Amino acid sequence: MYVTISSEQANNARPLRSASKQPTPIAKAFKAGANLYFEGDRVERIYQVCSGVLRLTRLLEDGRRQVIAFGFPGDIVGFPCDGRYHTDCDVLTEARLQAYHLSALEGESGNPELHKELLQAALREISAMQDHFMMLGRKSAIEKVASFLCVLTERMSRDTGPRNQAFLPMSRSDIADFLGLTTETVSRTLSQLRKRGIIAINNIHTIMVLQPQALFGLSQGHEGMDCPTKPDLHGLARAC
| Rounded CA separation 227/220 (Å) | 9
195-211 mean pLDDT: 91
> Is the pLDDT at 85 greater than 50, yes or no?
yes
Comparing 123 with 111, which gets the higher pLDDT? Answer: 123
For 229, residues 6+ apart whose C-beta sits below 8 A from its C-beta are: 216, 220, 239
Q: Which of 8-12, 66-70, 120-124 has the lowest mean pLDDT?
A: 8-12
> Is the pLDDT at 234 greater than 90, yes or no?
no
Residues 113-138: tens digit of each pLDDT: 777 787 788 888 888 888 888 888 88
Q: Read off the pTM.
A: 0.80
Comparing 69 with 107, which gets the higher pLDDT? Answer: 69
Q: What is the CATH number of domain 7-135?
A: 2.60.120.10
Question: Which residues make up the CATH 1.10.10.10 domain(s) of the chain?
Answer: 140-219
pLDDT value of position 39: 94
- In percent, how much of the chain has pLDDT > 90? 44
> Is the pLDDT at 156 greater than 80, yes or no?
no
The confidence band for 10, taking pLDDT boundaries of 50, 70 and 90, is very low
The confidence band for 224, taking pLDDT boundaries of 50, 70 and 90, is low
| Rounded CA separation 40/85 (Å) | 5
DSSP state of 81: B
User: 52 forms bridges with which residues in the sheet?
Assistant: none
> Is the pLDDT at 167 greater than 90, yes or no?
no
CATH 1.10.3720.10 matches 140-219: no
Comparing 29 with 62, which gets the higher pLDDT? Answer: 29
> Is the pLDDT at 190 greater than 80, yes or no?
yes
Strands (E), 9-94: 28-30, 35-37, 45-51, 54-59, 65-71, 76-77, 88-91
State the burial class of residue 75 (Cβ atoms within 10 Å of its Cβ: 0-12, 13-18, 19+). buried
